[in-house]
Chain A
């Protein structure tokens, strides 16, 4: 399968910005997603971006897509302790499936 790579850990101080990075290998992906997983729970969709966009902003979240480098990032402004979770990027594969990255565990230090 395709490799979707993420750093495993990120720590930031409360109030700072967090940037979570992801690289993918399938240049034909049409949708790219960010999911959040809180402890003991399933994944919830945070945001997504179409492959013909460079940037999408949604309140404190900014998604940047660099198709040339196959790089996707999620920036969380004014990071709060409630943002501590595992964040997964995912790319749409074929008609039905998503391929998930390894996940980045974000720890927010008060």
Chain B
């Protein structure tokens, strides 16, 4: 099983700042099958990024994904008030599919 470890656990930032979230895999992950999700309280997760770097429909271009092998990054270039949430990385290539434990982006 591929274990995804996200860091930091919590990121305290102000609106307008840049957020950099890390996802490290215990073994190499196919870049084609690495996604990022945003989840707000009481809501289902929303797909932001698939295939490491492709934005899903309707996702603003301030969200970008990068990485390869075992190290992946989600960057939010300038935080908007609605971006404060929990973010999960997810690999959906080899079985079993797994999620990271999440990074909470909170208002500083």
Whether A associates with B in a native complex is no
Chain A interface residues toward B at CB < 8 A: none
